[in-house]
Structure 1
């Protein structure tokens, strides 16, 4: 079993060569899908009237760049030194103190404190995008509690996650994995009849015939480093994560879905332009269909 240190080492290696291209690939014109989530984050922060904001896992200041004109005091930390260096460069270029960016781990509560600050230095809001897929399941709650402890009473925490329930719509290997590992659980439950294991195995072979097991392609590294799908990159069940937010001391917890897919992804190749345009037309963070047709969501709550 991999330790937290092993997991973080692999994630660092994955992102180390990505620091100067990540923003363009996911926020620029090269992005395969427009970064609609940035407006959701901006709306959350505006509604909260947040002035002092921390981006936990800021990467190359991807989201922070979008907040430069919002009259906020911005801070961020990231696990990967190369990402930290790029974020500091972006801050310096903007005329902002580069020391507002530091190296830290979301698994370490100390990372949520501004280096060199005395006493408790609480934020109005914490945002976190692209990070939760890379933390072990058993660490979810401790991270949420660390975030809660780092904001003022009534402060806002907004976390982005990949939508596990989207697998019910994809009809590919994600669907198979969700059926077998999360719904059926491979017949490993102690409450299962002895004959159930064999039945589940037969069912698994049958399901493989019904899903496109060859897609999506595994994302691998380009220069010897592990790719995104070769490091821990989990999805989250929005229903379960909402309950975890409440258990961790948050109130007014909301789910906002984004990156809709108008049809199962395997249909996109037939007409990519129409697929993308129709998917964009569907974007509605509170549509119930987002539970199944959106590949990502933001969950937000206030410190109780």
Structure 2
């Protein structure tokens, strides 16, 4: 699929099937793995989202791609109606179970896709939310359908309502000095095709230059994330990163205003050298989380939120 072409229904169905399969074994373990006491890094984004929601006095909240209610279970509050949907049936089952313990009706959680506008509507109500949260979803969205997804989020909001949308930070690759950095250089920065086309008698020199660029990075890390059983792993399904500045522009072009960027999961050192001082790396990185607007997050944070208001 090339940029600028619409994704066919068959292509979208294939992508969504692979994503469902990827997450199918995580229904009961995902929260403990990534939000629990033994998670590899504290869920700092949960605190950030909780603050963003509280500051906006949200009364009607939808989590589009809610997983096992990883965030929703922490956002239940008096006077606030919460809703959520997810692509993966196993996630929906777990979300209903968890939220039922907090008094949330089962029909407030349903199966759905962010690619389908009608799926933003609650089975017993309408859209008309004052906040739509979407975390962990954008990496699995093809670039060709991205603007449609943003429009679906916009249309589900009341005028003046807020979108809180998470994405993985592509520009973090400028800091990691690993496989992601090399891929970013080749795909986004260096005009490789043009260099090869115009190389002429310097073809060998150009190849030597590209080989030297590759040697500047640890291209053997990080390892490819694989599945637990027979399901594909996170890196084996569509799992993109986003340039924060470009995603911000897309929200502005799709009917949002006051579009802000909040960075999280900071790294005070490039990951490839963090093992030399792991305690210090963790402590200073966590200290950096105190300011999600820090400009260094553009390069030193692995993820970010776009927070935008429907015009």
The residue number in structure 2 matching 1:88 is 96
The residue number in structure 1 matching 2:306 is 299
Task: Please give the secondary structure, in 2, of the residue aligned with 1:62.
Answer: coil
Tell me if 1:195 matches 2:199.
yes
Map residues 14-163 of structure 1 onto 2, 5 A cutoff.
14-69=22-77, 71-117=79-125, 120-163=126-169
Q: Render the CA deviation track for 1:145-200: whole Å, top value 9, x for unaligned.
A: 111010000000010000000000000000000000011253259xx853289466
CA RMSD in angstroms, aligned pairs only: 1.8
| CA–CA distance in structure 2, aligned partners of residues 248 and 137 of structure 1 | 15
Deviation of the 1:271 alpha carbon: 2.4
Q: Render the CA deviation track for 1:51-99: whole Å, top value 9, x for unaligned.
A: 0000000000001011123641100000000000100111112222011
| CA–CA distance in structure 2, aligned partners of residues 70 and 254 of structure 1 | 28
Tell me if 1:290 matches 2:284.
no
Task: Please give the secondary structure, in 1, of the residue aligned with 2:165.
Answer: strand
| CA–CA distance in structure 1, aligned partners of residues 206 and 139 of structure 2 | 28
The residue number in structure 1 matching 2:249 is 243
Deviation of the 1:44 alpha carbon: 1.5
| CA–CA distance in structure 2, aligned partners of residues 149 and 205 of structure 1 | 48
Asked if 2 retains the 8 angstrom alpha-carbon contact of 1:187 and 1:200, the reply is no
The size of the alignment, in residue pairs, is 300
Task: Please give the secondary structure, in 2, of the residue aligned with 1:285.
Answer: coil
Asked if 1 retains the 8 angstrom alpha-carbon contact of 2:32 and 2:38, the reply is yes
Q: Which runs of 5+ in 2 are unaligned?
A: 2-9
Tell me if 1:176 matches 2:176.
no
| CA–CA distance in structure 2, aligned partners of residues 102 and 128 of structure 1 | 15
| CA–CA distance in structure 1, aligned partners of residues 181 and 190 of structure 2 | 12
Deviation of the 1:269 alpha carbon: 1.6
The residue number in structure 2 matching 1:256 is 262
Cα distance change on mapping 1:127 and 1:185 into 2, 3 Å: farther
Map residues 5-20 of structure 1 onto 2, 5 A cutoff.
5-20=13-28
Cα distance change on mapping 1:137 and 1:70 into 2, 3 Å: farther
Deviation of the 1:201 alpha carbon: 4.3
| CA–CA distance in structure 2, aligned partners of residues 200 and 259 of structure 1 | 37
Cα distance change on mapping 1:188 and 1:22 into 2, 3 Å: farther
Cα distance change on mapping 1:121 and 1:129 into 2, 3 Å: closer
The residue number in structure 1 matching 2:238 is 232
| CA–CA distance in structure 2, aligned partners of residues 173 and 188 of structure 1 | 23
| CA–CA distance in structure 2, aligned partners of residues 247 and 232 of structure 1 | 25
Cα distance change on mapping 1:8 and 1:188 into 2, 3 Å: farther
Deviation of the 1:204 alpha carbon: 2.8
Task: Please give the secondary structure, in 2, of the residue aligned with 1:256.
Answer: strand
Asked if 2 retains the 8 angstrom alpha-carbon contact of 1:58 and 1:77, the reply is yes
